[in-house]
């Protein structure tokens, strides 16, 4: 999509309703329902909360199919840029104006640079050398830590490999992660979400210059006030990049029914959503994959339940810490009910399966729990 408007154009405010597909959202704007173009293919589940998230829009040209484009969303008191196409333009401007210290005295000489079968965002040049630069917009962050990506990205991993390949041929390469929150101090790849991307991130670190910055916007969200480079704790990442930890399964039971749950016997389950808290001392992702298989040997309480219920979301949390019961307690505090003794035969918890009348994925309290355990209690600060 060609951008025909500057950041200082008129802003229109709206309320998010739903995401129709990857690039179209429905909103309330000026008292009416409208469809808007969303130039961001990320999952954005922790940002786009139905009926709650405030959006900042810009009006499209009359020849364009949809009347508005989403520019940003509000998280607490902070506007978060969602328009990934604009990020490259912003970084290009900061580099050319010599505001970005990482690439001081370089200028952008080309965009969408063809490399092999793909493209990289920018090609920079100074008096002595060139830099192939890939720019990534980061919208996933907690109090102090930001992560990328917010969903599995094979395309993003391929970009890292392309940069490494160019570096091995003697070219200078860099990847820049741009975080839309000035309060952030640290950046990490989202190893809970995309384990393969995170392994590649570590694999290229000796050959590709990996950087991260946070941007601080003015109150009208029209221009960047300051740029701050973020710390990347590689040693911490090396320690935690293991397939072990805890996980949440969000499941849905489409009708009330009785289910025989192993030695617990015949239990009644109401129609609705259930969140299961589990752990895996190894092969965490394989454990989650097993839960999704319909044909398997019945072993855990959850196996019996999943013969009738459907998994709609899973949230792995990689950690060396034994936090399963602590996580279960957190979920219990926001649930509507629990299933007594379910999944807790080897601990002192009352349950590890919790009932919600509405989908918890759209509850701010549930999102805050996931982000707390994934982002805010890492312990390396």
* Each residue's pLDDT tens digit, 353-363: 999 999 999 99
Predicted confidence at residue 5, as pLDDT, reads 52
- 159 and 229 part of one domain: yes
Q: Are residue 67 and residue 122 in the same domain, yes or no?
A: no
Measuring CA to CA, how many Å separate 121 from each of 39, 44, 92, 101, 198? 16, 22, 10, 19, 20
pLDDT at 72: 93
Whether the Cβ atoms of residue 39 and residue 8 lie closer than 8 Å to each other:
no
Tell me if 204 is assigned to some domain.
Answer: yes
Q: Which domain holds residue 47?
A: 12-76
pTM of the full structure:
0.92
- The reported pLDDT for the residue numbered 380 is 63
End-to-end CA distance of the chain: 40
Residue 320 lies in a domain: yes
By C-alpha distance, which of 51, 52, 69 is closest to 60?
69
3 pLDDT band, cuts 50/70/90, is: very low
Examine the domain organization and report whether 97 and 16 are in the same domain: no
Asked whether the predicted pLDDT for residue 56 surpasses 90, the reply is yes
Cβ-based burial of 346 (10 A; exposed 0-12, middle 13-18, buried ≥19): exposed
The verdict on 31 and 167 lying in the same domain is: no
Residue 234 shares a structural domain with residue 323: no
When divided into structural domains, the chain yields a total of 3
Cα separation, 351 vs 345, in Å, equals: 9
Answer yes or no: do 92 and 227 share one domain: yes
Question: Do the domain assignments include residue 225?
Answer: yes
C-beta separation of 195 from 203 below 8 A: no
Residue 127 three-state SS: coil
DSSP 52-112: T-EEEEEEPPTTSSSSEEEEEEEETTEEEE--HHHHHHHHHHHHHTT--GGGTT-EEEEEE
Residue 381 confidence (pLDDT)? 56
* Residue pLDDT, tens place only, 71-102: 999 998 888 999 988 899 999 999 999 999 99
Q: Long-range pairs for 333-341 at CB < 8 Å and ≥24 separation? A: 334/360, 334/363, 334/365, 334/366, 334/369, 335/275, 335/360, 336/272, 339/267, 339/269, 339/274, 341/264
Q: Is 95 part of a structural domain of the chain? A: yes
Confidence label for 377 from pLDDT (cuts 50, 70 and 90): confident
Calculate mean pLDDT across residues 304-324.
Answer: 95
């Amino acid at each position: 999509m060609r951008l025909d408007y500057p950041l200082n154009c008129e802003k229109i405010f709206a309320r998010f309703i739903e995401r129709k597909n990857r690039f179209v959202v429905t909103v309330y704007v000026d008292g009416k329902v409208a469809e808007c173009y969303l130039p961001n293919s990320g999952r954005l589940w922790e940002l786009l909360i139905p009926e709650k998230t405030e959006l900042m829009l810009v009006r499209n040209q009359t020849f364009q199919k949809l009347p508005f484009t989403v520019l940003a969303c509000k998280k607490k008191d902070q506007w978060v840029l969602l328009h990934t196409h604009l990020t490259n333009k912003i970084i290009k401007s900061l580099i050319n104006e010599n505001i970005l210290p990482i690439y001081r005295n370089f200028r952008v000489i080309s965009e969408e640079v063809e490399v092999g079968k793909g493209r990289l965002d920018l090609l920079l040049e100074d008096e002595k050398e060139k830099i192939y630069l890939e720019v990534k917009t980061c919208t996933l962050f907690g109090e102090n830590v930001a992560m990328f990506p917010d969903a599995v990205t094979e395309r993003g991993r391929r970009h890292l490999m392309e940069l490494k390949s160019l570096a091995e041929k003697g070219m200078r390469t860099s990847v820049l992660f741009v975080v839309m929150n000035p309060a952030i101090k640290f950046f990490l790849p989202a190893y809970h979400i995309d384990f393969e991307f995170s392994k590649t991130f570590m694999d290229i670190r000796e050959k590709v210059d990996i950087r991260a910055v946070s941007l601080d916007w003015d109150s009208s969200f029209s221009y960047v006030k300051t740029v701050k480079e973020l710390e990347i704790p590689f040693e911490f990442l090396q320690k935690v990049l293991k397939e072990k930890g805890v996980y949440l399964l969000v499941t849905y039971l489409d009708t009330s029914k009785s289910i025989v749950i192993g030695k617990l016997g015949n239990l009644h389950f109401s129609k609705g959503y259930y969140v299961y808290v589990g752990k895996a001392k190894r092969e965490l992702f394989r454990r989650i994959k097993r839960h999704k298989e319909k044909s398997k040997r019945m072993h855990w309480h959850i196996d019996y339940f999943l013969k009738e219920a459907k998994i709609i979301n899973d949230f792995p949390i990689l950690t060396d810490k034994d936090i399963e019961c602590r996580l279960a307690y957190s979920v219990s505090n926001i649930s509507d009910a629990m299933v007594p003794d379910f999944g807790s035969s080897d601990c002192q918890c009352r349950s590890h399966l919790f009932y919600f009348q509405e989908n918890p994925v759209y509850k701010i309290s549930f999102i805050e729990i996931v982000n707390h355990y994934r982002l805010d209690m890492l312990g390396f600060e």
